[in-house]
Chains A and B, each alone.
Chain A
Amino acid sequence: MRILLVEDDADLGPAIARALRAEHFAVDLATDGIDGAHLGETELFDAAVLDLGLPGKDGVTVLGEWRRAGRTMPVLILTAREAWSDKVAGFKAGADDYMVKPFRVEELVMRLRALVRRAAGHAAARVTCGPLAFETQTGQFELDGMPLKLTAFEWRVLSALMLRKEAVIERLDLLERVYEGDADVDSNSLEVIVGRLRRKIGATMIETVRGRGYRLTASVAA
């Protein structure tokens, strides 16, 4: 799961990014409205965390531009503006959630996971695929009822596949959701991660669709 974080505060931005990365998220941090608008329009994110009071371009304007450009990723507004009128304006501009500073980072993480899960079309918090289960509220994977230990990269790949289970994910699409924008991506590294995942959950669940990408499926395993 790759998150776009648009926050201009020099202390708070990196602190949130660290907290999200500790929960396995890939995080791209933009520190002003212009960069944020550009990143959101040009790159693929599972969700965005958007401050409202931004230099360069106001958060509500940024959000409007994303929506007009056809970007549908869930957006969580994280702001000091706590007035209900601001909340109404934020949701009218196309926000999906709204949190007021100061906030508990656990709640931010939980809300982000829920937003990404709902955006993928899952109403229930627990997503299952054969013997594999994804508890979206805690971010925990289980295999046959046993907790599955994953690295951050493994978690990002598996959660992306899990949320779109039984469907093919384009390779480039998957790459974008796994690596932060400034990461030095070795074209083979995705295959390495998928290989490690196959060793953990069984070789057949992640199917390679030649020339296109990957698919997580329960049908072969069953």
Chain B
Amino acid sequence: MILRAPRSMQGRLFALSLLATLVALLIAAWGIAGVLERFVVAGIDQRLDAEIALLASAVDGDGRIDRTRIEARRGVMQSGGGWRWRIETPRGAMGSTDLPALADGPPGPPGLHGPRDDRRDGPDGPDGEPRAIDGQTEQGVRLHARRYTIATAAGPVTITAAAPRRVIARPIRDAIVPLLIVLAMLGIVLTLAAWVQLRLGLRPLRQLQGAVAAIRAGRADRVDEDQPTELRPLAAELNALAADNEAALASARMAAANLAHALKTPVATLALAVRDDPERARQVARIDATIRHHLGRARDGHAGARVVTPLAPAVAALVHVVERLHAGRDVTIDAAIPADLAVRLDAHDLDEIVGNLIDNAARHAKSAVRIVAAREDRMVRLSVIDDGPGIAAADRQRATDPGVRLDERGDGHGFGLAIVRDLVALHGGGLSLDEAPGGGLAVTVTIPAALS
């Protein structure tokens, strides 16, 4: 299994601090255990050295052992339970019988497994300084021993005192369990602290992300620059970027709108000049349609998400406009819009959507256009219904497919619907064409409702 670094910064930092805490605790545990062992061993060594000194006082200059003196001191010395001592002289030995094996020294005598000398001094040690030997008896009892060699006239006399290894191990074991519990608790506290620190430390980042999201959604146009020192340059850069973006977008829209506007008058002149030539007039009309399309697109999307536009007054004003524009046609336009309906759309885009729909309907209606609207969940559903000839089902279907140029139809339904379709899509809504009950066309758009 491949262990991968977590994707989240918080995860990475947390994993890292967890690892560091663990390593620190392990080092602490190892170090404390080592110090503890040295203390215990030093205490045992003191006792063994005292014993050796006692035994040494019973050995005279000729290498003879004063047994009565040892017998007299026997009560003072540790015995039993693995505590042992032994004196070896060239003339004979005295003491625990299972120690000779130990006494043979480092070259690996039988019964002594893995002799270890943890002192810096040589095998015999300097005079007056006992040296440590660790080993194991044939019965498997592990021993910690001290050995002292005295030079006598008869030759060297070796005095060995040993303690069972377990008297060292037991206090260490007794101490290490509470120590580990304390260390584990320390680890938990450190881990929690790291977690809290990361949560708090990374919070400005999360807040900054929220602020950037708000810019994208149009709820704000800049992020708060009152940030922690490390994030302040980032916030400033983000604001500069947002401002640049806004300016570039505005200038691009302006350029497109200016271009389209500048082209319109010459196109109008041209249209006037070629009106008697149907083919050229059609080409000029195409130029005009293209200009309108891109002018419409240049205007698209400048609405912030914050605006709220009441629907009924906007529709009423547009109905008035369309009635005047189609004054020659005997078409009545009725709007039934609940007074409390409002949409999350700027007035310009709403005018563009509804104006085109009413205009299309009035253009094709026989006698009447109806406009109805209702709130549906988070959207407003607005329908414009005419009693005209309608559109064939296949064309209705095609008209709502994205990418289809509706203005190819050339019957006047097209261009306005293309603008409406693009605009409502931009605002997250939809456009659908249906057959009206009387046979006319019912165009329905869904646009985001302003939630009160």
Contacts and interface: CB of A to CB of B under 8 A. Distances in A.
A101 B292 CA distance: 10
B310 to A, nearest CB: 14
B275 A104 contact: yes
A9 B292 contact: no
A118 interface: yes
Contacts of B321: 84, 87-88, 91, 98
A96 interface: yes
Given A9-B265, A11-B269, A88-B351, A82 B324 contact: no
Contacts of B292: 82
A95 B272 CA distance: 24
B327 A98 contact: no
A16 interface: yes
Q: Which of A11, A16, A87 has the most CB of B within 10 A?
A: A87
Contact of A102 (B271, B320, B352): B271
Interface in A85-126: 85, 87-88, 91-92, 95-98, 101-106, 110-111, 114, 118, 125
Contact of B295 (A15, A82, A84, A85): A82
Interface string A66-92: 000000000000001011110110011
Contact of A12 (B272, B275, B299): B272
B268 A12 contact: yes
Given A19-B272, A102-B264, A85 B351 contact: yes
Interface string B293-326: 0010001000000000000000001101100110
B256 to A, nearest CB: 14
B398 interface: no
Contacts of A111: 328
B261 interface: yes
B282 to A, nearest CB: 13
Contacts of A80: 261, 264-265, 268
B275 A83 contact: no
Interface residues of B, number: 33
B158 interface: no
A85 B348 contact: yes
Nearest to B352: A84
Nearest to A51: B265
A18 to B, nearest CB: 9
B101 interface: no
B351 A83 contact: yes
B356 interface: yes
B273 interface: yes
B288 interface: yes
A80 B49 CA distance: 113
Contacts of B183: none
A103 B271 contact: yes
B351 to A, nearest CB: 4
B355 A104 contact: no
Contacts of A101: 264-265, 267-268
Q: Which of A12, A16, A95, A114 has the most CB of B within 10 A?
A: A12
Contact of B327 (A9, A83, A88, A97): A97
Contacts of B265: 9, 11-12, 80, 101
Q: Which of B267, B268, B354, B356 has the most CB of A within 10 A?
A: B268
A84 B272 contact: no
Contacts of A53: 261
Interface string A1-44: 00000000101100110010000000000000000000000000
A125 B330 CA distance: 12
B270 interface: yes
Contacts of B351: 83-85, 87-88
A19 B272 CA distance: 9
Q: Which of B261, B264, B273, B285 has the most CB of A within 10 A?
A: B264
Contacts of A110: 328
A11 B48 CA distance: 123
Contacts of A87: 321, 325, 351, 355
A9 B295 CA distance: 20
B126 to A, nearest CB: 107
Given A88-B317, A102-B288, A96 B324 contact: yes
A103 B267 CA distance: 9
A98 B271 contact: no
B190 interface: no
Nearest to A79: B264
B284 interface: yes
Given A82-B292, A83-B299, A15 B273 contact: yes
Interface string B256-283: 0000010011111111110100000000
B36 interface: no
A91 B324 contact: yes
Interface string A127-141: 000000000000000
B347 interface: yes
A88 B318 contact: yes
Contacts of B288: 102
A79 B264 CA distance: 9
A95 B321 CA distance: 10
A96 B351 CA distance: 19
B275 A98 contact: no
B423 to A, nearest CB: 11
A41 B425 CA distance: 46
Q: Which of A11, A80, A96 has the most CB of B within 10 A?
A: A80
Contacts of A83: 299, 348, 351-352
Interface of B: 261, 264-273, 275, 284-285, 288, 292, 295, 299, 317-318, 320-321, 324-325, 327-328, 347-348, 351-352, 354-356
6 contacts: A11-B266, A12-B265, A83-B299, A98-B324, A111-B328, A114-B327
Interface of A: 9, 11-12, 15-16, 19, 53, 80, 82-85, 87-88, 91-92, 95-98, 101-106, 110-111, 114, 118, 125
Given A91-B317, A118-B327, 4 more contacts: A19-B272, A82-B292, A95-B324, A97-B325
Closest 4 interchain pairs by CB?
Answer: A84-B355, A80-B264, A102-B268, A84-B351
